[in-house]
Each structure stands twice: as structure tokens, then as C-alpha cells.
Structure 1
């Protein structure tokens, strides 16, 4: 077998740090010396207490657990799992920060979905980093033809003088043979930036592009590098920056934007940074999750000259926290998930993060259709403030929306009528801590931070091997 957020030094799903000298909130950001810390974190004991009190549901009529497999130790270290992606019958899972990070990307052969086999590890070669997100696509450019993997890379300790070999950015690998990934290139960020938090790999004709989310890049480099970047990876050995953008470039934000916080018209000081990005299938538009600025939409038909179109907005009493996005109904409906760990706050509704659904036929004017809330949204019985009850990532398959929900597991939601979303199934194993979800043919993949890869059969199917 080829076993080749953000200053986080424990198993954190995210952090909010409050500055001692200004009302600045750096969500998902560095906890630095000299800064008072009021952190909302994954407390493992508290999370276990919470999840032990929940009833595990592994055999639902719509979602049935077919397999559960823990990731193997890497260099003698047991890491924990982050996001999950699937391509051509293989699952690719990122890893988070447990036990020092450097868990790399894990590759699982899903030929037999009831028995996933870990067959490779890659992208673990840069010290003191973690690899949350991996996207794999088949690309055909003048420089490379095959299956390309783009991996987000973040330092566990930003710009640390004691860790001079640590750096963030985007690693690029040839995974045409998933058993033997080969490194092709590295798009490296300034060490003052924690790294690329999430990313998306897409194609435009014979061109391959990475869209990268680099939280606080503009702030840390004084504008030299920016939060949202579009990188040409047509030649993976020589990635090239095409364009970059920072929220202070919006006229409605610029005058009231200071230290990466926005004095919004509702009188609140709101955190704004790039957490995540996706595109539609033909890479015509980018959807950028900019926390309390909402989901920002760009026309990227010309990736050297994208055009800002519009963004989602919030009620005055809502925390924004636009975390991730997905598209439905041929790209005319936007799903926006909001990761809120602290369910309370002066001037805000008491609620964990929930999902909002928008009509985006007119991308300059997203229209809110509905808000999907669950029993988790208003359950404040957790022993500590944590990410256990908030929604995390969305994926859409046909008229079904799949949501990863940490201790809630995976929820399936019927969005045939996006104005009236209805929960139709829930998979909640004991001690659930589900980070990501991905739909692949007749099964749903869930990445559980503590328990590894879960394979869930849907529609009472029996699973199928690779096509």
C-alpha cells in the first residue's frame, strides 16, 4: 500500500476568538498569544455525554448503514476524519487536527460498498499541516490528462517561527491510479496566512481551475494576497493565480470594514471572511460562503475578470455564518448552511445553525424561499457550547438534500418544493460526529470525525460496485 483553523492545537471543528483590544471576532481563526480567548470548541467529553444521551438510528427505511470503517494509523498516529468526496468508485477523505494533524488524504476502494478498503495516503508530507478538503475531477488539458486531486492545506500554527517548514495552500496530485497518487504541484500561500481552508476544483473546456478560500489572507498580508482566489491548474506543476478578491472591494462594505469585521447596517459588528466556495456544473458561476456577508455570487465565465452579481442577506436578529453551499433545481435554487456553535447572543435569536433555501433564478437578487430547522436547532441541553447541534455541509441529489449535522448525523430532506422542505430520514449513530456527506450512486458517504467512513445505502438499495 502506498502510504505515502487556523491555529488549532486540539480537535476543533472551529474557533471564535475575541480580541482584547477591539470588538473583533475571528471565527475559524488564530488563537494568538496576547489575545483573550473565549472559544467555542469541540469538547470531546461533553460531546460524548451529549451523544450518549441520543438514540442511535442505524437502520432507517431510507438510510441504512452498510459499512463503518476507521481510518488507519499514519506513521503510528491515529488521526480523525474531515470531509469526504467520491470519484469513480473511490472515496477520498480529508483529515483534521487530532494528535498533531498530518493525517493526509485517505483513499478508500468502494468496489464493495459494504467493505471499504483504505488503499493509499497522500498529501501528508508538509509538516504541521492538516488536509480538510479534497476534490477530484477528470481533466483534459494541454498539460495533463487524467484524474486530478486538489487538496486544501492549512498550518496548525500560523507563521510559527518554530515550524519553518509549515506552509498552507493547495496541493495537486495525479490520482489516475488511486492506489498510487503522485504529487504534481503546490500552490503555496504566504506563511502569514493559515492556508486554504476549503476549495473547489472545476473545468472550463480544456482548462482546469481551483477556487480557493483563504480566510483572512488580505488581513494578514495587507492586501498582497486575498481571501478568494481563482487559480489556473491546467498545468498542475505550475499553478497560476488568475484573479483574487476581498470583501472590502464591495462598495456596500468598504467604508464600514475594519480588521476583517463589518459594521453592518443593522448596527452589529459582523465577522466576514471566506470560508468555502463551489461552482455550478459548467463553471459559469461561483458561490462564495463569506460568513456574515452571506453567500456571494460571481459570474466567472471569464475567470481573469469575474463579475460580482449579488449575495444573500440576513434578518437583523440572525447570525450570518454562511458556511457552505449547494445547488438544486438545475442551479436555480441555492442551499446555504450556517454553522453556529453559540446558540445565544445579545440581539440575536437563540438557535443553532440551520439551513436556508433561496431562489436564485435572478442571481443579482437571491430570494429567500424557506428556512429548514430541526429539533436540534433549539435543543440547548448540551453541557457546553459546541458545534454538536449545528448544521454543517449540504449535498443535493435530485430532489433530496443531505445535511451533515455533527452529533445529529446525516439528515435527508425532501426539497421537491423548496419553499416547504420536509425531513424524510435521519441517520444518527451512537457518538455521532459527522463532518461531511457525499452522494455517490446508490449510497451516501458520511465522514465521522471519530468513527471514520460510513457508507449508507439509500432507497433500500443493496449497493453496487464501480460502473
Structure 2
């Protein structure tokens, strides 16, 4: 989102008892996609493809209920969803995704309120000048050296009562932030993205040129000692159209890579040294107005960038704009080492038109960990939610969508899905006005993604998941020995024992296995929504929503 606006201030913690009094909004009746593809829905009407349906909604409540209190980004930890807002954040328990429960609401104003979580810590981005760093602060002035914006850190060990423990001021605040864990596991680095210094240079701590990011080091043993340790300049030449820092950075720690959406530039970076990112490739596109966010595929061989033309408030999904404006751009990563480069392959924009009253443009999304495919779910503000398959970089295809009609027929109201992410089998969307939506995707291309679960997910800190080297389907007769790679089973009837040798892996989804499973020092063994007629002997294996008719040894 572009140009945040400071909000009011106060702090509230809802008790579980009070939260229990909140009622879920009734899920509205939906219109089949085939009947609505070429028609703009009516106000609040829901249209969707048959494979993507809403199962829950929690309306905005408490201090976040007003129209001006915008919902923002999401983070996840186990069965908890952390939902940001310009006035703070909510914590929901989604143990039952069809019935999310409010755990707490923390009111601590300062847009955008994008959250990221790491263990018992929550980091909250503040890009609106405040009179001080407290949750009781008022709006401030960038010209006042005593006023504050930056990153707030909370202890979330007690989800029902988060505690504010530390603030770190950063130059020009924190529009977004990204966590990059240290390689030794002792620290987490916070990449702080901000922009917009006053053109006249009047900012006390936000002065042009602002072609850098700030990096905070948080020692996990002593998070209250968090401090800025580096401010690397990414664009010493000023970047394209005087790029000032980055809007968002997605890191892929396992590959030591980062993709930066930096307003006028898209960049690929080496982050082997967490405090000294090095640009490997820098690209520009005359069809891109504002490089907004980035997503790697699981293999780290592609990056999907988004263009937030209009800053998030514009009606860019109308006939007045081309299909390559306010869209995604997909790049392949070619080459090796320091020679890696971004190579453009295609654009993607949702194929449905919106009304001139609806803000709509490409926004935040995440990978869906489907076997053998590159699939992403993405928010488009009032353009709704889109699921795209970009396995073929040059020919991305939409495979599902879900959308609400306009918020009003008579005035433009900023709304729609800010962030839409896949987490452990479900899609979660933080709608600016309508609250938290939970959706279920039922599609043969993506159902097997339920075999993958993450303990923690910050989408801008992209995790890897086991990549299938062999995918089996249908009937398989005879014993199976897996010597290397990861064998994935999707809808398999296996007649025979399975042996997984050291270093190899097995992922089973929606399958019937007639025979024992034996694994020694396997890289992964995961059995989900399946039936095993035999014993399972696999130390460290995950067995979820499955039935085993035999002995089980996993620890």
C-alpha cells in the first residue's frame, strides 16, 4: 500500500471471554463463476470459481471496526494467525479454520502495521510518524527529531496478552519489514523497507536521497538489545526514476537469495552476508509503475514481481488499463553464482473487469506447495483473490478465483483483500474492510499441497518445502525402494512394502498403502490423509489425518 495515513491511538487487550462473544459473520451465498465471468457483481455479492469457496469470515471489531482502520498483512504460527491493522494487530486461533476464534487484539497505532513473527517475538512495521514510540502516541511530524517511526517488537509467548518490549527507530520508518534469520540461529535480522523522504529535505531523520534499507539485529537471547547495525545503499546511482529504497523484499534464506521490489527497479540479491546484500541483477520495465512485492518459486529459479500501479487506491482493473499494467511480471533466474540474472518471461493480470469504484491492482500473495508445480494465491484488493499456475513461466494460467462485489455503488471506498496467503491447507485473506476471510481450495492440482505444513510462516521470509523428484499416481504393484530424491504419492494404491534409504524421502497424500513402511535417516517421511495397512517404522516421520493398521514407531 502506498502513502500510509497516521491513525488515532490507544491500546486494548481483549480477554478470551470477551472475544468469545464475537460472532462470525454469515458466509454469503455465492454465484457460480460461469454466471459471473463477464458481469461486475452487485454490492457485497460474492462470485467465485467452483473450486474456491469461503468457509468463514470474522468482521472487523473493537478498535479496528471503523472504515479508516485498514487491515493489512498476515503472519502465521501453528494454529495462530496474526492479522495486521493500521491500529495494531489481532491474533486468531484457527485450530478449526471454519470457526476462527479471537485470542487478543493489541491497539498500537501506526500504519501499516505489517506483522512478522519469529518464535516468541512479533515485529510490527510503523511508517507513520508518531509523537513517541508508545502505543498511546499521537500523530507526529517528520521535522521533529524527537518524534518516532520504525519497528515495534512484542513478546507473544502469551498469545492472549502480548507485551510490547522494544522499539527501534529507523530512517523514514518501516513501510514493510522482512525477517532474515542468522545462519547460526542466534539472531534474526530485520530488513526494513521505507521510502518517501520530504522532497524539500525537511525531515529530521528522513532525508533524501533515501536509496538504502535499514537492517536491525535482534539477538534472540536478548531481544531488548535490538538495534540498527547496517544501512546498506542499494542504489548508489539513484536507481530508476530516483528509486528511494525498496517497497518490499522477500528473502529465501535457504538459498541466500532475496528479491527486492524497489519502486522503479526489480532486483535479485545475494544475502550470504545478512548485513551486506549484494545486487546480482537489476531490471526495469516501462510497463511497471511501482515495483511492489516479489515471490520466488520453491526451486528458486523464478521470481514473480507485482506492479502496484495507482498505489493500491486506483481502479486499475477496468477497460482503461492494459493487461500488462498493474499486473504481475514473471522472471526466470538464469546463470549461476554471481552471474545469475533475471530474464523476463510473461505478464499476468486477472481477466475480470472491476467497476471504477473498486480499487484493484496486483498485491500480496504466496506459494501453494503443490507437488511438482509453481502455483500461487494472490490478493487483488477489490479484484478479489486469484490462484495462478506459473509452472510455465511464459504462460501463466488462472485456475481459481473468489471476489466480492463493490463496497458501494455511489462512492469509492478503499477495500478488498490486502494479503491472501496459503497456510497449512487453507487460504487466509485479510480484507481491508470486511475482516478475516478463510477459504478452501478444492482442485486436483493443489489438493496434495495439504501434505505440507509449516510451524511458522512469514511470506516475505520464504520457506522451502520438500521438492518431489518423482510423483506417483494410480496403482503401484510390488515393493518400492527409494534410494535418493523424494518420492511423492498422490492418490496412489500401493501394493507392497516401501523402504526409504538414508537421505531419501517419501511424501504420501490421499493414498492407500498395503504394506509396511521402513525408513532409516530419511530426509522426510510424511503421511497425510492416507491409510496404511501395515507397520510404520520411520523416526521423525509425520503422520497426520491418517489411519495406520499396524505398529507405529516415529520417535
Per the TM superposition, whether the score is higher than 0.5 is yes
Of 418, 422, 445, the residue aligned with 2:428 is 445
Match of 1:214 in 2: 194
Residues 1:61 and 1:89: Cα distance change in structure 2 (over 3 Å): same
Kindly name which structure, 1 or 2, has the bigger radius of gyration based on alpha carbons.
2
Superposed CA offset, 1:191-212 (max 9, x none) = xx3x201111231232211111
Of 379, 403, 411, the residue aligned with 2:378 is 403
Match of 1:307 in 2: 278
Question: 1:197-212 to 2 correspondence within 5 Å?
Answer: 197-204=175-182, 205-206=184-185, 207-212=187-192
Tell me the secondary structure at the aligned position of residue 366 of structure 1. strand
Question: 1:16-95 to 2 correspondence within 5 Å?
Answer: 52=42, 56-57=46-47, 60-74=49-63, 79-95=69-85
Superposed CA offset, 1:375-416 (max 9, x none) = 24xx48515xx6x22111121123211110111111001122
Q: After TM superposition, give the deviation of residue 55 of structure 1 in Å.
A: 5.5
Determine if contact 1:274/1:290 at 8 Å carries over to the other structure. yes
Match of 1:433 in 2: 416
Determine if contact 1:129/1:166 at 8 Å carries over to the other structure. no
Relative CO higher for 1 or 2, CA cutoff 8 Å, sep ≥ 6? 1
* Gaps in structure 1 of 5+ consecutive residues: 12-49, 97-102, 139-146
Answering whether residue 410 of structure 2 is matched by residue 421 of structure 1, we say no
Superposed CA offset, 1:351-380 (max 9, x none) = 64001111114364101122112324xx48
Aligned counterparts of 1:429 and 1:349: Cα–Cα separation in 2 = 22
Aligned counterparts of 2:176 and 2:142: Cα–Cα separation in 1 = 25
Question: 1:278-427 to 2 correspondence within 5 Å?
Answer: 278-282=250-254, 284-293=256-265, 295-314=266-285, 316=286, 318-341=287-310, 352-362=325-335, 364-376=340-352, 379=353, 381-383=355-357, 388-398=359-369, 399-427=374-402
Determine if contact 2:363/2:419 at 8 Å carries over to the other structure. yes
Task: Judge which range, 159-168 or 275-284, deviates more.
Answer: 159-168
Determine if contact 2:129/2:149 at 8 Å carries over to the other structure. no
Aligned counterparts of 1:6 and 1:273: Cα–Cα separation in 2 = 14
Q: After TM superposition, give the deviation of residue 246 of structure 1 in Å.
A: 3.4
Answering whether residue 226 of structure 2 is matched by residue 245 of structure 1, we say no
Residues 1:54 and 1:375: Cα distance change in structure 2 (over 3 Å): farther
Q: After TM superposition, give the deviation of residue 132 of structure 1 in Å.
A: 2.7
* Gaps in structure 2 of 5+ consecutive residues: 9-39, 131-138, 407-414, 456-543, 545-555
Match of 2:5 in 1: 8
Match of 2:469 in 1: none
Residues 1:412 and 1:350: Cα distance change in structure 2 (over 3 Å): closer
Answering whether residue 168 of structure 2 is matched by residue 187 of structure 1, we say yes
Residues 1:311 and 1:161: Cα distance change in structure 2 (over 3 Å): closer
Aligned counterparts of 1:165 and 1:93: Cα–Cα separation in 2 = 29
Superposed CA offset, 1:230-251 (max 9, x none) = 21112320112222233441xx
Residues 1:165 and 1:84: Cα distance change in structure 2 (over 3 Å): farther
Answering whether residue 127 of structure 2 is matched by residue 154 of structure 1, we say yes
Q: After TM superposition, give the deviation of residue 129 of structure 1 in Å.
A: 1.8
Aligned counterparts of 1:448 and 1:75: Cα–Cα separation in 2 = 12
Of 215, 229, 253, the residue aligned with 2:214 is 229
Superposed CA offset, 1:67-100 (max 9, x none) = 001132129867331112221111111113xxxx
Residues 1:161 and 1:211: Cα distance change in structure 2 (over 3 Å): closer
Q: After TM superposition, give the deviation of residue 445 of structure 1 in Å.
A: 0.2
Match of 1:129 in 2: 110
Determine if contact 2:217/2:229 at 8 Å carries over to the other structure. yes
Residues 1:326 and 1:87: Cα distance change in structure 2 (over 3 Å): same
Q: After TM superposition, give the deviation of residue 111 of structure 1 in Å.
A: 1.2
Aligned counterparts of 2:288 and 2:142: Cα–Cα separation in 1 = 35
Tell me the secondary structure at the aligned position of residue 330 of structure 1. coil
Tell me the secondary structure at the aligned position of residue 104 of structure 2. strand
When the two chains are superposed, the root-mean-square deviation of aligned CA atoms in Å is 3.5
Determine if contact 1:214/1:226 at 8 Å carries over to the other structure. no
TM-score by structure 1 length? 0.72
Superposed CA offset, 1:95-154 (max 9, x none) = 13xxxxxx21110110111111111123x34xx52243111123xxxxxxxx32111012
Q: After TM superposition, give the deviation of residue 52 of structure 1 in Å.
A: 3.1
Tell me the secondary structure at the aligned position of residue 177 of structure 1. coil
Aligned counterparts of 2:64 and 2:83: Cα–Cα separation in 1 = 17
Aligned pairs, number: 378
Determine if contact 1:358/1:369 at 8 Å carries over to the other structure. yes
Task: Judge which range, 233-242 or 83-92, deviates more.
Answer: 233-242
